[in-house]
Amino acid sequence: MFKQIFALIPIIAAVLANEKTILLSNDDGWAALNIRAAYRELTNAGYNVILSAPARQRSGWSGKFQIPDSKTLKEAGEFNYPPKGSPSWGHESDNNKIWYFDGTPGAAVAFGLEYVIPNYFNDTKVDLVVNGPNEGTNLGNGMYTISGTIGATYNAVYRNYPGIAISGSNGNNSFFKDFENDENDTLLAANIYAKKVVQFVDQLFKGAKDDSILPITTGLNINFPSVGYDDESCKDPEWVFTKFSGKDSTTSDLKYNKESGLFESSSIGSEALYTCVFGNCSLEGESQLLADKNCKTSVSAFSVDYSASKDQEETIHGALNGLF
């Protein structure tokens, strides 16, 4: 009897040691369908997932760090979930692993790391921060600075955590409660993406050379193509390594409309967005890959060491030499 129990101890210890903790966030809010599907599938796959995401839709809030200035919500959460006047942060009544926070995406990540995990999960070590899948793509270096999904991700990378930003081509702002009976619908994009997220995360942990998973300063930006009901020819998109820069990379622009007397938003490409300086410049740009609509998912690596290259630095320093 004792022998059998002792024989189990190393197995139990190994299972516990292998359980990886993932902090999951996004910018569309904690009630978005995509993030709830990812929570479900990652949890079903055996990960210890703690969701900490904004109370409201925070698309386009980039890396801005904003925290609540009141203990109660001055505005309702997205889909009135939770309603105005509720606490500014809280969790699902039946699950203390699913949290909202009335802040920006970057702040919701910090809230998970600095408040939820120390206070509710005994300072469990977070192995990976996953953000998304976003409702809509986040492509190119122009979007890097605008996207709340990527903003949440580089906020995690700044704090030494490996971070991945994931975006889907399904742009609808969907409330998870409207799809509660669809968790087994294999053509629902949120479900396909969630399963692909598990496949990706599994390999990331399996392939990691050490505990750090991704090299310090780096993160990943992933964009899924249209799948399932949105493109029935695409149910299991292929992974492709890409880069941020390159053809079709754009950033925000404006145009003056003489008739309305107002400005309209538009987008613009430029040599600065097409030019590759760092990394493997033979890789295709992520914007181009997704524009080709070939059922492929882009995977681009980025670094938060924003310094110019050595050559660029030398050119600049040379020009300024007279001052030094």
Residues belonging to the active site: 167
List, in order, residues 6 or more apart from 198 with CB less than 8 Å away: 41, 42, 45
Residue 250 or 298: the one with the smaller Cβ distance to ligand NAG is 298
Residue 2: strand, helix, or coil = helix
- The number of beta carbons lying within 10 Å of the beta carbon of residue 85 is 10
Question: How far is the C-alpha of 168 from the C-alpha of 38, rounded, in Å?
Answer: 12
Q: List the one residue from 183, 202, 231, 253 that touches ligand NAG (CB under 6 A).
A: 183
Q: List the one residue from 280, 309, 312, 315 that touches ligand NAG (CB under 6 A).
A: 280
Question: How far is the C-alpha of 187 from the C-alpha of 34, rounded, in Å?
Answer: 13
Q: List the one residue from 19, 114, 178, 236 that touches ligand NAG (CB under 6 A).
A: 178
Shortest spacing between CB 256 and ligand NAG, in angstroms: 33
Alpha carbon 257 to chain centroid, angstroms: 35
Residue with tokens 């999951």: 24
- Region binding ligand NAG by CB under 6 A among candidate stretches 40-48, 90-98, 248-256, 277-285: 277-285
From the number of C-beta atoms within 10 Å of its C-beta (0-12, 13-18, 19+), residue 65 rates as middle
Residue 107 or 194: the one with the smaller Cβ distance to ligand NAG is 194
Angle (CA) 204 307 25, round 5°: 40
Question: How far is the C-alpha of 308 from the C-alpha of 315, rounded, in Å?
Answer: 10
Residue 42 or 107: the one with the smaller Cβ distance to ligand NAG is 42
Would you count residue 283 as binding ligand NAG (CB under 6 A)? yes
- Region binding ligand NAG by CB under 6 A among candidate stretches 8-16, 125-133, 158-166, 278-286: 278-286
Question: How far is the C-alpha of 124 from the C-alpha of 113, rounded, in Å?
Answer: 9
- Indicate the length of the chain as a whole number: 324
- Region binding ligand NAG by CB under 6 A among candidate stretches 7-15, 50-58, 61-69, 280-288: 280-288
List, in order, residues 6 or more apart from 16 with CB less than 8 Å away: none
Residue 4 or 184: the one with the smaller Cβ distance to ligand NAG is 184
Would you count residue 282 as binding ligand NAG (CB under 6 A)? yes
Residue 199 or 280: the one with the smaller Cβ distance to ligand NAG is 280
Would you count residue 169 as binding ligand NAG (CB under 6 A)? no
- Region binding ligand NAG by CB under 6 A among candidate stretches 52-60, 142-150, 180-188, 261-269: 180-188
Footprint of ligand NAG (CB under 6 A): 122, 172-175, 178, 181, 183-184, 280, 282-283
